[in-house]
């Protein structure tokens, strides 16, 4: 039976993976996230499984391979935390879960938006103290407003449909526009200028890092509502804080934060030395921060587990790897594998390699 080192385990992870495992893998669950310091936990294992906040740099890649691990199963869609050149050089195959529940993330973005524009979070806090005053809770109708959606993959398109259901006009931006969506694609300058709501649904790449910064915020409508359920690094947090303080941004709903790896997924309530910018953001009445929970639905957890197992089954059986990510295929910073000749021939970008002699 293959042994799987499962990092950053939460109770809901263990429940969903144990339910679907069926005795296929000997899963060794660890609460710590995958970092260089955690590598000894993977000793004797055949594969590793990590989450979005792992730090998979060259040292981690080489440490996994040195232990005989040749496949890393990311149980998430994002992969900006993985050094893919190091993975290619070391012979580590990386697979992921490209889509687990786009509805979960899009619906969470809508929940943040509705809570902000109708001040639900503030009203709920008041009524717990039996304060039923309506002062300061005036919101605005979404109907007739313009939503600017950056990124029109599955999640972005579903969120666009939700906005259209509210009677909103939708503007879209994507580096690779898809005319089949029927959306009105515009450049970023126009999207910033015309949108009452801006929602981010694009990956974090070198070209999208801080796509929302002081310059882009200055081009947006005064009082714009910003929602980010994608990646924290898309937003310059200090610039956003400044814009919130002077009223340029009316409200922000953030499920992600650019320095979240040291804070999210754990109870940090007793830590006295907090992240300054994050502390200031969560203290503002027009900001809602959730701890990267947009994916967290029963359906999504089941899909994550089933796809992760399917990825591992395919790897160890020598079958095609539908969800492999390969650096070599594109020769660029953004790993893609659509045009890889090796993939066309075998269904995977590199063949499975035997464990090194002498390893367990």
- Which residues of the chain fall below pLDDT 70? 261, 265-267, 269, 272-273, 328-346, 350-360
- Distance, CA of 6 to CA of 191 (rounded, Å): 41
Numbered ranges of CATH 3.40.50.720 in the chain: 2-100+297-346, 102-289
What are the two backbone dihedrals, phi and then psi, of residue 317, each rounded to the nearest 5 degrees? -90, -5
User: Which CATH number is 102-289 given?
Assistant: 3.40.50.720
**Which residues form the catalytic set?**
231, 260, 292
- Distance, CA of 226 to CA of 113 (rounded, Å): 8
Give the tens place of pLDDT for each residue, 129-160: 999 999 999 999 999 999 999 999 999 999 99
> CA distances (Å), 313 to each of 75, 114, 286, in order?
14, 41, 46
The pLDDT of residue 296:
93
The mean of the pLDDT values for the chain is 90
Q: pTM score, two decimals?
A: 0.85
The pLDDT of residue 356:
40
User: Which CATH number is 2-100+297-346 given?
Assistant: 3.40.50.720
Q: Is 75 helix (H, G, I), strand (E, B) or coil?
A: coil
In sequence order, which ranges of the chain are alpha helices (DSSP H)?
11-21, 58-66, 84-90, 102-117, 120-128, 154-165, 188-194, 214-219, 237-245, 276-283, 298-317, 341-346
């Amino acid at each position: 039976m293959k042994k799987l080192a499962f990092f950053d385990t939460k109770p809901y992870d263990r429940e969903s993976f144990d339910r679907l495992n069926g005795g296929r893998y000997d899963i060794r669950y660890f609460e710590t996230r995958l970092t260089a310091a955690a590598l000894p936990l993977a000793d004797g294992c055949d594969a590793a499984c990590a989450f979005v906040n792992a730090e998979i740099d060259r040292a981690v890649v080489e440490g996994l391979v040195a232990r005989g691990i040749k496949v890393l199963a990311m149980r998430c869609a994002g992969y900006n935390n993985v050094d893919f050149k190091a993975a290619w050089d070391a012979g580590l195959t990386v697979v992921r879960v490209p889509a687990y529940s786009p509805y979960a993330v899009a619906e969470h973005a809508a929940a943040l938006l509705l809570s902000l524009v109708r001040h639900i979070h503030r009203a709920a806090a008041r009524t717990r103290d039996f304060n039923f005053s309506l002062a300061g809770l005036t919101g605005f109708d979404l109907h007739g407003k313009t939503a600017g959606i950056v990124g029109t993959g599955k999640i972005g398109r579903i969120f666009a449909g939700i906005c259209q259901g509210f009677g909103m006009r939708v503007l879209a931006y994507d580096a690779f526009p898809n005319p089949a969506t029927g959306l009105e694609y515009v450049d970023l300058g126009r999207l910033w200028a015309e949108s009452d709501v801006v929602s981010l649904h694009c990956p974090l790449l070198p070209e999208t890092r801080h796509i929302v910064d002081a310059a882009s915020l200055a081009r947006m409508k005064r009082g714009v509502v910003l929602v980010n359920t994608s990646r924290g690094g898309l937003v310059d947090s200090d610039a956003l804080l400044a814009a919130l303080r002077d009223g340029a941004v009316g409200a922000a709903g953030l499920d992600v934060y650019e320095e979240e790896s040291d804070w999210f997924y754990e109870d940090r309530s007793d830590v006295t030395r907090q992240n300054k910018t994050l502390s200031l953001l969560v203290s503002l009445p027009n900001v809602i921060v959730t701890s990267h929970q947009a994916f967290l639905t029963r359906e999504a957890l089941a899909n994550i587990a089933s796809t992760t197992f399917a990825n591992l089954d395919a790897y160890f059986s020598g079958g095609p790897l539908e969800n492999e990510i390969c650096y070599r295929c594109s020769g660029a910073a953004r790993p893609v594998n659509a045009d890889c000749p090796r993939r066309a021939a075998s269904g995977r970008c590199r063949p499975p390699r035997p464990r090194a002699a002498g390893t367990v």
